[in-house]
Structure 1
């Protein structure tokens, strides 16, 4: 690839949203390239796909990816929420009788392979540096450790996740609804754990557990950033939450798990949004436009949907149908508004700790 090349669309970010947009755009016979700084994805923990997400995978031709043995079907949820009893919900009588526990890193490798089989171009090892309008096109400057490339396009897509790098360079700020943060870690499993998704509300947050990786149990404790103590007190904070968890204690005892905290990482998990997810010659998709509380299970499903609809919208815009961007905004904004209503309702069902800081904040969502 030479230093000065024109594409109809440049996508910054090679995660699920960026790849979904790229696949959609190439299916429309437009030229595009995905720019990805990391040639190997960062280590990411598994993710659950609820049954109602499966039609989207079928619509996008990605359903076969979920049948790989690296992913596992799961047939329901177990939760402790609103009281101290374990409640079980099975998917047996749903239209789609199972969900999928993803091996997240493997799934992203699968998506990359699909994109390359569909002749989607990649530029890996380059970070996004700047964007500006130059005559009738958009100039994008990229940098690697040893080189600088200048590309030109009609539209640039921000698929950089919550950091929204392109939007920030353009001076477009996101609205932050909360400061939800997760402490993610693993436990070594000695015996198999049933393929369920486990969630439990706690005094100042909630916990998610799934056996989505072979020989390991994934655990995520969610609370607000200012409620997480210093690194020195972090271990004690986690152990206190684990000891107070009905679900986790049951899992540990039944499966003879040594509760040694492995691969501890802190990750942002908050709800954010743009007022308008597009502008002159740019569009934002996935977490760069709208990011979701993991309690909603929107995750990858929302990212793929945003890439699909955003890819069609920008393709239409290039062909002169600029109203397609407003349609994209309408679809995504309505989904986000419904999400906020449902999220507030879900948090409101937990009344045991309504005077605690974390829960008070969720009751005051607008």
Structure 2
């Protein structure tokens, strides 16, 4: 048994979980953060919007993040609704440029910031089970080597990502809007000189591509389509991935310009839009992808992770101080975010009308967008 009782145990040490832990710790709460992923593990999700920088400042970790060697990201490039490539620059954004992240380094910076703020970070451990114990929880932590430890806490923060493991184990349901999946790989240039860290997206008849330059000089390249439209076996093979890449124009040209070659096997991941039917329950609160999962097209996943984590930590701190409205206000705010996201997603997919008779785009037409 860990020493003493925690105000909260945070299950998951990604950006949302670290932000929740930071907000609680900065309020003087005793927090344990359990993170079972290897510290150096590569993760997709490298685009950080300019609006995230004030959140990092509020959490007290902006300087730590900016010192970690991420690339400045000055805008986006898109071929969407036409064959031409258009630029959307951040020059007029009041928050300045965004960042193209080394996700392993970024996530580690947030956890290090949480630890510096007084959070107990339990690396290499996951929340294996949690049972109600009077007014709180008895939590079992399991390490990769099989070691087991128990902790007692008042609240659980579900930051387990798209699995929403804690919330679903305790009665919440996950509602899906589509079946979007991502197949992605990393590419390394044979010729130096690529410095364009803008994210590029390109629509095609059966989905869309994106590529982004990340610290270290690699490019992440991803193909987004619906699970039932994907040739999964082919897309997870290097040859099949490269064959599909030939369907693109601008993404393929960006790779060809610097003689990029694939250096990792393709991988697949859920990328669909989903949400919980409720964001809080008896003794638990959900954050990040566990609460709301966004289509990567929005480039809002990281921003939403930080925002919901911070807001959940603040709401839980206020609740523990006796504010009976704090958790309801948090849930209401996430409902607002969910509605705005659904509307914006529908509008943006509607801009692409060239392949309106293809299943991928038909499903995202305004009349069908919420009927998946």
* TM-score w.r.t. length of structure 2: 0.92
Q: Write the deviation string for residues 281-332 of structure 1: whole angstroms up to 9, x where unpaired.
A: 1111111111111111112211111111000111112222131001001111
Q: Which residue of 1 aligns with 2:369?
A: 365
Shift of 1:216: 1.4
For the structure 1 residues 47 and 320, does the alpha-carbon distance in structure 2 shift closer, same or farther, using more than 3 Å as the test?
same
Which secondary structure state, in structure 1, belongs to the residue aligned with residue 363 of structure 2?
A: helix
Matches within 5 A, 1:11-22: 11-22=10-21
For the structure 1 residues 337 and 149, does the alpha-carbon distance in structure 2 shift closer, same or farther, using more than 3 Å as the test?
same
Q: Which residue of 2 aligns with 1:280?
A: 282
Matches within 5 A, 1:18-37: 18-37=17-36
Matches within 5 A, 1:1-366: 2-3=1-2, 5-40=4-39, 42-45=41-44, 47-68=46-67, 70-144=69-143, 145-189=145-189, 190-193=191-194, 194-232=196-234, 234-235=236-237, 237-255=240-258, 257-260=259-262, 262-363=264-365, 364-366=368-370
For the structure 1 residues 197 and 230, does the alpha-carbon distance in structure 2 shift closer, same or farther, using more than 3 Å as the test?
closer
Shift of 1:339: 0.8
Shift of 1:117: 1.5
Shift of 1:229: 1.1
Q: Could you tell me how far apart the structure 2 residues matched to 1:73 and 1:355 are?
A: 38
User: Are the equivalent residues in 2 in contact too, given 1:12–1:160 (CA < 8 A)?
Assistant: yes
Q: Could you tell me how far apart the structure 2 residues matched to 1:278 and 1:250 are?
A: 46
Q: Which runs of 5+ in 2 are unaligned?
A: none
For the structure 1 residues 265 and 317, does the alpha-carbon distance in structure 2 shift closer, same or farther, using more than 3 Å as the test?
same
Q: Could you tell me how far apart the structure 1 residues matched to 2:349 and 2:284 are?
A: 35
For the structure 1 residues 230 and 318, does the alpha-carbon distance in structure 2 shift closer, same or farther, using more than 3 Å as the test?
same
User: Are the equivalent residues in 1 in contact too, given 2:139–2:152 (CA < 8 A)?
Assistant: yes
Q: Could you tell me how far apart the structure 1 residues matched to 2:129 and 2:51 are?
A: 39
Q: Could you tell me how far apart the structure 2 residues matched to 1:137 and 1:76 are?
A: 46
Shift of 1:237: 4.5
Q: Which runs of 5+ in 1 are unaligned?
A: none
Q: Could you tell me how far apart the structure 1 residues matched to 2:136 and 2:255 are?
A: 58
Shift of 1:142: 2.4
Which secondary structure state, in structure 1, belongs to the residue aligned with residue 132 of structure 2?
A: strand
Shift of 1:39: 4.6
What is the root-mean-square deviation in Å for CA atoms of aligned residues?
Answer: 1.9
Shift of 1:112: 1.9
User: Are the equivalent residues in 2 in contact too, given 1:65–1:107 (CA < 8 A)?
Assistant: no
Q: Could you tell me how far apart the structure 2 residues matched to 1:259 and 1:198 are?
A: 18
Q: Write the deviation string for residues 8-29 of structure 1: whole angstroms up to 9, x where unpaired.
A: 1111111111111111111111
Which secondary structure state, in structure 2, belongs to the residue aligned with residue 171 of structure 1?
A: coil
Q: Write the deviation string for residues 75-125 of structure 1: whole angstroms up to 9, x where unpaired.
A: 222111101111122222332342211111111121122122112102233
User: Are the equivalent residues in 2 in contact too, given 1:48–1:297 (CA < 8 A)?
Assistant: yes
